[in-house]
């Protein structure tokens, strides 16, 4: 009798001990980041932001007891490696949401994501991804590259530019917005010079810039990452080019003034989908605290916002009792004018338009620091969904 | 009980599975491989690795590694272009599949196209040997790499080319489970082919060319013919591997078929064992599995210290490199040689002398 009692007591004790574990469900989130690959220079900060975001929202317990579990992995910007990791996340970890990275791999995974109904947040703001008819499960948080390049052309035109040139690496990310940029430049009546290819790991851009000098453009678009952008800017200063540079969002950050020095001042203008790290906006306090004492860049803010929007979607999906891929997708599509505390423009997704927003800021460099030149806004036109 | 192998006929000496034990083990291995997908999910969950995906990659790379081993290990010609030849196969299969060709036609076409390209770049092998040939094939790598990236109308450029899943009749190989049997079939075929070709007249001619080309020529081996043939067969196999890969991953871009892949192929057969059928298999298993295994401690540690993940990712590449170097220092003849040593030890144990 006593033995039976003991066993029962033990069983009850065990059950009690494990109850919190059983109740706290884990929501696994796959993470594809580039740490060691060609875009690792900006990828590191992005990955760190996602990791910090996971910790922050778990501490705030926003999902009513459910815990986020980010499974971060480095795929070194290799598409096959991304496919391998994707298969692991799908079959082994059974995730229904992934925080992804580059343009090439995000596009490569599109068919799989749609087939498996896994929500895919990416750090690639490729305009093609914003058409839910073609890519119902793809989401991102910043102004698309195509919109950014159109805004850059408008800004250049406003500054009195007549001639533009496009400089980009031979990568999906670099090449992605170029057709949209050229199309819009033509519409604005700008004269387009020959393209220049500068690779992400370039340490010299002299030949390309000398080539460009013959055309002598007023403005040039740079579609690289920060290190290659710094190389271009420095070489442009060295050869006394009067050209000003409009830089896509992965090539302009807090490291650029450090890498390019004085050359960046008055010459480099970046398209900023999110506020620079440490900017004076209400949402930034938590971000800075989460980053600890390490100085970081606006790429950290980007992934933070990406996690923030994902959490918002998860909250809604949970309230609807549909914590799965289709449930999260439907929940995200109800998000309207979501306030990120000024970290980026208010975010809206609908079932017919996955463009998060169409406004951003243009940043410049002064005294080794980023300052805001201007807020710009592109009208949300139906014709531009999906490109 | 005999403590060694005693053959009384040449036929027995040349047999593929000389002992009963070996036959029993091979049957066991065959059964294991055929039934593995049915319990692979359990293994995957337990290990935290998608093992079915790993096996599929291993099978595909085995086909290619056998090809390179025939060229480098058996015929003695170094190629640094096999990554690109694999790309030629992949793109051929991908483009033909998009044109509506069935799998069973597109795949051989991929092999043939790669063979044709490989033979063209193999022509310098008549005059060039060793490092010079390596550089000539390296040029092939760069030329093909450039073509794949910039011939966008054909290859989709750096955005890649989407390939439909393979299907034969009503059977579609659109998931890891189905593809496993297809890839296993090709790996077995390639292994059997390599094992058999090395036992034929042609195979012996290859080895003769490798060991001393002058003597080979003196005894009547047509050097040019065999060198080009070796390039052809080898590129055909790596082209088939590329075709399979395209059908498996279902998206191909130039990023995969860079010099890094060529070097990786070479590393596979060197780590495994040059001029050995088992060598290519061991090498592939080692090179494909190790990076996955190295991910495990990183993931485990990330659970405890989330911030460490960034540092660990960079370390992983380094550890991988170091392990390969250590391997080459302590086992320069490759894993296959080590395997023979271990087997010989146990065969004679405890009466080794």
Predicted TM-score (pTM) above 0.80: yes
Helix (H) or strand (E) holding B86: helix B82-98
Helices (H) and strands (E) in chain B, counts: 15, 4
| Closest residue, chain B, to A169 (C-alpha) | B158
Q: How close B127 gets to chain A, by Cα (Å)?
A: 36
Q: Do B310 and A87 touch (CB under 8 A)?
A: no
pLDDT for position A20:
44
Q: How far apart are CA A101 and CA B223, in angstroms?
A: 51
Tokens representing B240 are 């088939």
Q: How far apart are CA A367 and CA A374, in angstroms?
A: 18
CB A144 within 8 A of CB A273: no
Beta strands in chain A (DSSP E): 26-33, 67-74, 97-99, 119-121, 138-139, 163-168, 191-192, 196-197, 219-222, 244-247, 268-272, 359-366, 369-377
Q: Do A70 and B157 touch (CB under 8 A)?
A: no
Distances (CA, A) of A286 to A47, A49, A52, A253, A279: 17, 12, 10, 20, 12
Tokens representing A334 are 């109800």
- Enter the DSSP assignment of B165: P
Taking only the tens of pLDDT, chain A with its 387 residues reads 466 655 566 555 554 454 444 456 889 999 999 998 888 889 999 999 999 999 999 999 888 889 999 999 889 888 888 988 999 999 999 999 999 998 888 988 988 899 999 999 999 999 889 999 999 999 999 999 999 999 999 999 999 999 999 999 988 888 889 999 999 999 999 999 999 999 888 899 999 999 999 999 999 999 999 999 999 999 999 999 999 999 999 999 999 999 998 999 999 999 999 999 988 999 999 999 998 877 889 999 999 999 999 999 999 999 999 899 999 999 999 999 999 999 999 999 999 999 999 999 999 999 989 999 999 999 998 888 887
Tokens representing A333 are 């599509």
**A293-324, pLDDT tens digit by residue?**
778 899 999 999 999 999 999 999 999 998 99
Distances (CA, A) of A145 to A113, B99, B155: 21, 32, 24
SS3 sequence of B39-85 = HHHHHHHHHCCCHHHHHHHHHHHHHHHHHHHHHHHHCCCCCCCHHHH
By the 10 Å C-beta count (0-12 exposed, 13-18 middle, 19+ buried), B68 is classed as: buried
Q: Which residues of A327-339 are buried (b: 16+ CB within 10 A; e: fewer)?
A: bbbbbbbebeebe
Taking only the tens of pLDDT, chain B with its 353 residues reads 555 667 788 888 778 887 888 889 999 999 999 999 999 888 888 888 889 999 999 999 999 999 999 999 999 898 999 999 999 999 999 999 999 999 999 999 999 999 999 999 888 887 887 888 888 899 999 999 888 888 888 887 766 788 888 888 888 888 889 999 999 999 999 999 999 998 899 999 999 999 998 899 999 999 889 999 999 999 999 999 999 999 998 888 877 888 888 988 998 998 898 888 999 999 999 989 988 888 888 777 777 776 677 777 777 778 888 888 888 888 888 888 888 888 888 877 777 65
Q: Do B306 and A79 touch (CB under 8 A)?
A: no
Q: How far apart are CA A186 and CA A136, in angstroms?
A: 31
Out of A70, A83, A175, the one facing B249 most closely (by C-beta) is A83
DSSP string, A323-364: -SHHHHHHHHTT--SB--TTSBS-B--BTTB----SEEEEEE
CB A251 within 8 A of CB A351: no
Q: How far apart are CA B134 and CA B137, in angstroms?
A: 5
Q: How far apart are CA B244 and CA B242, in angstroms?
A: 5
Out of B53, B160, B250, the one facing A104 most closely (by C-beta) is B160
Out of A71, A76, A77, the one facing B299 most closely (by C-beta) is A71
Q: Which residues are CB-neighbours of A359 under 8 A, at least 6 positions away?
A: A143, A345, A375, A376, A377, A378
Tokens representing B165 are 């899943």
Residue in this structure with the two tokens 């077995």, named with its chain if needed? B188
Q: How far apart are CA A127 and CA A130, in angstroms?
A: 6
pLDDT for position A4:
63
pLDDT for position A18:
47
Out of A48, A80, A175, the one facing B158 most closely (by C-beta) is A175
pLDDT for position A19:
45
Q: Do B306 and A70 touch (CB under 8 A)?
A: yes
Q: Do B176 and A92 touch (CB under 8 A)?
A: no
User: So what's the ipTM on this one?
Assistant: 0.83
The gap between the terminal CA atoms of chain A, to the nearest Å, is 75
Q: Do B44 and A91 touch (CB under 8 A)?
A: yes
Q: How far apart are CA B121 and CA B144, in angstroms?
A: 11
**By the CB < 8 Å criterion, does A293 face chain B?**
no
Out of A36, A47, A111, the one facing B250 most closely (by C-beta) is A111
Out of A33, A91, A107, the one facing B159 most closely (by C-beta) is A107
CB A235 within 8 A of CB A261: no
| A 229-258: CB under 8 A from B | none
pLDDT for position A270:
94
Count Cα atoms within 13 angstroms, Cβ side, for A35.
20
Residues of chain A in contact with residue B160, where contact means CB-CB under 8 angstroms, are 79, 104, 107-108, 172
- Enter the DSSP assignment of A265: T
Which one of A103, A108, A109, A179 would you mutate to disrupt binding with B, by most B Cβ within 10 Å of its Cβ?
Answer: A108
Instruction: Output helix, strand, coil percentages for chain B, rounded to the nearest 5.
Output: 80, 5, 20
Residues in chain B, overall count: 353
| A 96-135: CB under 8 A from B | 104, 107-108, 111-112
pLDDT for position B329:
87
pLDDT for position A11:
58
CB A55 within 8 A of CB A70: no
Q: How far apart are CA B27 and CA B172, in angstroms?
A: 28
């Amino acid at each position: 009798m006593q033995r039976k009692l003991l066993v029962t007591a033990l069983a009850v004790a065990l059950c009690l001990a494990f109850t919190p574990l059983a109740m706290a469900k884990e929501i696994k989130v796959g993470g594809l980041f580039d740490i060691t690959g060609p875009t690792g220079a900006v990828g590191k900060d992005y990955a760190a932001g996602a990791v910090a975001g996971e910790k922050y929202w778990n501490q705030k317990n926003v999902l009513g007891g459910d815990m986020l579990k980010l499974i971060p992995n480095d795929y070194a910007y290799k598409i096959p490696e991304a496919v391998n990791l994707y298969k692991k996340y799908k079959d082994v970890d059974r995730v229904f949401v992934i925080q992804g990275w580059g343009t090439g791999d995000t596009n490569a995974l599109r068919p799989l994501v749609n087939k498996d109904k896994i929500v895919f947040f990416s750090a690639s703001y490729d305009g093609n991804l914003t058409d839910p008819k073609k890519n119902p499960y793809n989401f991102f948080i910043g102004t698309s590259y195509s919109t950014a390049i159109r805004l850059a052309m408008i800004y250049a035109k406003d500054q009195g530019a007549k001639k533009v040139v496009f400089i980009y690496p031979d990568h999906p990310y670099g090449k992605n917005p170029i057709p949209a940029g050229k199309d819009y430049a033509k519409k604005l009546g700008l004269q387009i010079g020959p393209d220049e290819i500068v690779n992400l790991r370039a340490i010299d851009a002299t030949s390309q810039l000398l080539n460009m000098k013959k055309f002598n453009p007023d403005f040039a678009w740079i579609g690289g990452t920060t290190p290659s952008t710094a190389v271009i800017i420095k070489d442009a200063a060295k050869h006394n080019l009067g050209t000003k540079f409009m830089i896509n969002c992965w090539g302009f950050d807090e490291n650029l003034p450090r890498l390019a020095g004085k050359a960046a001042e008055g010459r480099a203008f970046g398209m900023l989908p999110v506020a620079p790290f440490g900017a004076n906006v209400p949402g930034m306090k938590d971000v800075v605290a989460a980053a600890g004492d390490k100085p970081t860049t606006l790429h950290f803010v980007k992934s933070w916002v990406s996690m923030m929007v994902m959490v918002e979607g998860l909250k809604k999906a949970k309230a609807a009792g549909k914590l799965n891929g289709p449930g999260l997708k439907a929940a995200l599509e109800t998000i309207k004018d979501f306030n990120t505390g000024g970290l980026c423009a208010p975010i809206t997704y609908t079932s017919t338009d996955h463009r998060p927003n169409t406004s951003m800021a243009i940043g410049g460099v002064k005294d080794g620091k980023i300052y805001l030149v201007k807020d710009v806004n592109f009208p949300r036109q139906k014709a531009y969904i999906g490109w | 009980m005999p403590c060694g192998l005693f053959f009384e006929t040449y036929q027995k000496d040349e047999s593929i599975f000389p002992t009963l034990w070996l036959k029993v083990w091979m049957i066991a291995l065959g059964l294991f491989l055929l039934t593995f997908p049915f319990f692979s999910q359990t293994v995957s969950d337990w290990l935290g690795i998608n093992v079915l995906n790993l096996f599929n990659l291993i099978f595909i790379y085995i086909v290619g590694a056998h090809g390179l081993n025939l060229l480098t290990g058996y015929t003695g010609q170094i190629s640094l272009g096999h990554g690109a030849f694999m790309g030629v196969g992949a793109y051929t299969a991908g483009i033909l599949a998009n044109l509506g060709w069935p799998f069973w036609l597109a795949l051989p076409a991929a092999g043939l196209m790669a063979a044709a390209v490989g033979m063209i770049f193999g022509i310098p092998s008549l005059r060039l040997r060793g490092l010079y040939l390596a550089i000539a094939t390296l040029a092939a790598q760069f030329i093909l790499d450039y073509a794949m990236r910039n011939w966008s109308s054909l290859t989709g450029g750096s955005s890649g080319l989407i390939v439909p899943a393979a299907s034969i009749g009503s059977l579609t190989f659109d998931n890891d489970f189905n593809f496993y049997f297809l890839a296993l079939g090709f790996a077995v075929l390639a292994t059997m082919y390599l094992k058999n070709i090395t036992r034929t007249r042609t195979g012996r001619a290859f080895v003769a060319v490798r060991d001393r080309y002058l003597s080979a020529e003196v005894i009547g081996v047509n050097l040019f013919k065999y060198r080009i043939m070796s390039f052809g067969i080898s590129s055909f196999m790596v082209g088939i591997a590329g075709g399979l890969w395209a059908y498996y991953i279902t998206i191909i871009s130039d990023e995969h078929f860079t010099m890094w892949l060529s070097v990786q192929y070479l590393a596979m057969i060197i780590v495994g064992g040059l001029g050995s059928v088992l060598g290519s298999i061991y090498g592939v298993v080692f090179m494909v599995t190790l990076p996955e295994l190295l991910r495990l401690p990183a993931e485990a540690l990330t659970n405890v210290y989330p911030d460490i993940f960034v540092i660990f990712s960079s370390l992983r590449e380094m550890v991988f490199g170091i392990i390969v170097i250590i391997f080459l220092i302590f086992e320069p003849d490759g894993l296959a040689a080590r395997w023979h040593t271990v087997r010989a030890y146990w065969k004679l144990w405890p009466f080794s002398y």
